[in-house]
Chains A and B, each alone.
Chain A
């Protein structure tokens, strides 16, 4: 399912998935830029990869863990937790009321 042309709805849907709000001008601008990029990256179809496995990990490591009960060296104090926000109430982060339940 490849297409180099995007509709306005496509762009809006992407923006919604990405948590971004775009104005009319931006929708038009990104639509064009995305289409350009998409048509370039299709050059990958020139390469045959039928029997090639995808690389998800660039290192050669497996089974990297930490041991349960290790001392917590990174615990944050309440002051540190909230030092970068004003959205605070009763030692919780505060957001606009969510109507979901």
Chain B
């Protein structure tokens, strides 16, 4: 990256909640692959006289998301109307939140080996706000018209806005992946970019470090990129856009403030129809919905599960390597599985005749490297593990035969060892292990091979 130019990137992420009902009515909110317009009612169709009543669970889950992002939960919050005309917006306004969102001022730390182990600079990205709103219907474009399906209209949507703390696409990708894991931990959404239950739009600008204009901390324009459907494309789109903007700046011009689309086939961003002026949404408080008041007691009662980062730190303190801790915690079910096995196994150990150190690291190893299938029920896994850890009954006769065979066929290695090249034994041990097909521990093989070598002249 060019040192003269620093990218300034902020993210706007939408998470579709998997509540049973929609945000303001009792229609089912699971619309994927359902026949069009079969999950609608007067409210989500915006019919005359229909009124919204908010879904309590959606609000609780928004607080949950806010808490998991270390936000402050506002004690007073409300809904507002955001006005614009578009065929997929049945009321001509979206019920959203404007100046009193549910959660503000949080942050998300990206799991990072250096920061956890070496306590060096953490990778933290600030969250400006988390608010709740309703989704729109879906447009289906065809040759001679646009079709509208309102099954998705009114589905609860949580919007997360970050501060423009990012300056490269790799961090953005890691952040999104971390956020996705976190949301799935909370079990409030499938957070799937391909299915549209997680959507994101980056805002990208460039500051020119050269023009050290005194107070210029933030650029005076930003480009929003829409229509990015996977984490891989996010990186592509951002990299392309940064390059594009720098080229413009190099020519001495200024990039236009606009919304651009992303073409995944060509890997480029392109200009969409420019809006002549900033949209005037004419926000005002939603009169049909009384405000929300959250007591400290209520907010406290919404409990977080143990979150991925905390689990990673815990596993590391149990002696597990960072890489394996990371993999185990990418999926809450897997992490729970691991913890389940660990606690059950530790209970059994005193009754087994096994000397095991670093139990957790061993279990982690077995799971991550798929040495035992993690789809097995916990008890079966533990049984297989015990089997694997028991010292193997060595077929002494077979071992001796094979050692003799290997030594005979690898005279050079034997000679090397005799000459003093002690490492040559490892090669011989390896060969024996191969012939034994892993039915014996390397330690024992090495002992026996050493014995035999001593007897050779």
Q: In their complex, do chains A and B touch, with some C-beta pair under 8 Å?
A: yes
**Chain A residues bordering chain B, tally (CB within 8 A):** 37
Bin chain B's interface residue count: 35 or more
Contact present for A72 and B37 (CB under 8 Å): no
- Which A residues are in CB contact (< 8 Å) with B25? 72, 74
Task: Give A59 to B27 CA distance when docked, in angstroms.
Answer: 27
Residues of chain A from 50 to 101 with CB closer than 8 A to chain B in the complex: 56-57, 59, 61-76, 78, 81-82, 89-101
Chain A contact surface mostly: loop
In the complex, are the beta carbons of A89 and B20 less than 8 A apart? no
Contact of B92 among A19, A66, A75, A81 (CB under 8 A): A19
Flag whether B355 is at the interface (Cβ < 8 A). Answer: no
Kindly list chain A residues whose C-beta atoms are within 8 Å of the C-beta of B280: 17
Which of B101-109, B137-145, B236-244, B415-423 is the contact stretch? Answer: B137-145
Interface contact B43-A74, CB-CB below 8 Å: yes
* Residue contact B146 to A97, C-beta cutoff 8 Å: yes
Which residues of A are found within 8 Å of B227, using beta-carbon distances?
Answer: 101
Find A62's partner among B57, B148, B293 (CB 8 Å cutoff). Answer: B293
Instruction: Collect the chain B residues with CB atoms within 8 Å of residue A63's CB.
Output: 290, 292-293
Q: Which residues 135-171 of B have a CB within 8 angstroms of A?
A: 139-150
Contact indicator B285/A68 (Cβ below 8 Å): no
Q: Which residues of A contact B282 (CB under 8 A)?
A: 17
Which chain A residue has the least Cβ–Cβ distance from B293?
A62
Q: Are A74 and B36 in contact (CB under 8 A)?
A: no
Q: How would you classify the secondary structure of chain B's contact residues: helix, strand, loop or mixed?
A: loop
Give the chain A neighbours of B56 by CB distance below 8 A: 65-68
Nearest neighbor of B281 in chain A, beta-carbon distance: A17
Tell me the bound Cα distance from A82 to B139 in angstroms.
Answer: 17
Contact with A along B249-272 (1 / 0, CB 8 A): 000000000000100000000001
Does B19 sit within 8 A of A, measured CB to CB? Answer: yes
B290 touches A92 (CB 8 A): no
Smallest CB–CB gap between B62 and chain A, Å? Answer: 13
Kindly list 15 other residue pairs between chains A and B, CB separation below 8 angstroms, not including A63-B293, A66-B55, A98-B139: A63-B292, A64-B290, A65-B54, A65-B56, A66-B53, A68-B20, A71-B26, A72-B25, A81-B37, A89-B145, A90-B36, A92-B147, A97-B141, A100-B272, A101-B227
**14 A-B residue pairs with CB within 8 Å:** A56-B287, A57-B285, A63-B290, A64-B53, A66-B21, A72-B28, A75-B40, A90-B147, A92-B140, A94-B148, A95-B146, A97-B141, A98-B141, A100-B273
